[in-house]
Amino acid sequence: MSSSATAPTLEDNAQSLLFFESGDDTIEVRLDTTSETVWLTQRQMADVFDTTPENVLMHLQNVFNDVELDEEATTKNFLVVRTEGQRQVRRRLKHYNLDAIISVGYRVNSRRAVQFRQWATRILREHLLQGWTLARQRFEANADELDAAMTLLRKTAQSPALDTQASRGLIDIAARYAQTFLLLQRYDEGLLTEPHAQTGGELPSLDAARSALAGLKADLIERGEATELFARERGDGLDALVANLDQSVFGEPAYPSIEAKAAHLLYFVIKNHPFADGNKRSAAFLFVDFLYRNERLINADGEAIINDVGLAALTLLVAESEPSAKDTMIRLVMNMLAPAPAN
């Protein structure tokens, strides 16, 4: 089998058309929705940028020689049907993807190249925004469907028809963890937002926090699980941390809800290292202590809002997270603490 017979045709990949218009000229740009890019030949790029194919080739060679792009990753051979004289022939032509096209566009010194860069930026922004909006709409629709299904399951669990403990238990598990599944999906999709939170929450005073930690330290030392270094303050780190959590902005609390205060308390103690040792354990303890003081540790069903295994996993997740992920971590903790929506 010849190599040309195995090459894909451009029509196999190009499923949509975009049109770049400049003045009286309209140039067809094929969008490859499978690879989320577009493909142009050297001659087509010359048309787009209002320059010569030789000039395009020179810029492509510089792009690849400077290792700005990898040639193999940004080029592909397609079979294209061309009219030559009185007959149509299939030629194997090299095409360049959007990365290569934009790289050449930034090197070509022409008014058309500037217009193309502006056009490409606008088109790409529109596709990104539309894609994000559609993804969020699909997620919210799925979330609503799952929530409706869980509501039905809860009602079904109370039906006399379910007379076996196993059936009731299975439905209870599915309903109980539905919100967790949604929360994890939101995290994966990058769609976590701050939940509807409960305004208020009283932070412990510095003396109260120290006293609570002293009790924990004594208990841990007695069990051989800590040394005198545990929760020993480094400078005024704890003082500054508590003051920061209790600050106001334009007369309003910087952290106005129980969820916000708890999440930031956990995050700051873990990340700011106010203690010589035991920062993660101290953070988890102060987090639980704060929830207890504000009557949020136990939910309406008499269950801990977050169990010991979940708390340990959450503490380690925050500890291992990058500083750039701070807002995501805070929203994650807040969502875990948020009261379940009423059915």
pLDDT in tens, the chain (343 residues): 333 334 544 444 444 445 455 555 555 555 665 556 778 888 888 887 888 999 999 999 998 998 888 888 889 888 777 677 777 777 788 888 888 888 888 888 777 777 776 776 666 566 555 555 555 555 566 556 556 655 655 565 566 655 555 455 555 555 555 566 566 666 666 666 776 667 778 888 999 999 999 999 999 999 999 999 999 999 998 999 988 888 877 777 888 889 999 999 999 999 999 999 999 999 999 999 999 999 888 887 787 888 787 788 888 888 888 888 888 888 888 878 876 655 4
Q: Residues 210, 324: one domain? A: yes
Last residue of a domain, one of 64, 94, 109: 109
Q: Residues 322, 262: one domain? A: yes
Within-domain flag for 57 = yes
CA nearest 80: which of 39, 37, 25, 36? 39
Q: Residues 185, 216: one domain? A: no
Helix, strand, or coil (residue 312): helix
Contacts 24+ apart (CB under 8 A), 139-142: 139/185, 139/186, 139/189, 139/191
Last residue of a domain, one of 109, 142, 163: 109
Within-domain flag for 239 = yes
* Residues facing residue 9 across a β-bridge: 79
Last residue of a domain, one of 94, 109, 124: 109
Within-domain flag for 198 = no
Total domains in the fold of the chain: 3
Q: Let me know: does 303 contact 236? Beta carbons within 8 Å.
A: no
Helix, strand, or coil (residue 249): strand
What's the domain range around 24?
3-109
pTM above 0.95, yes or no: no
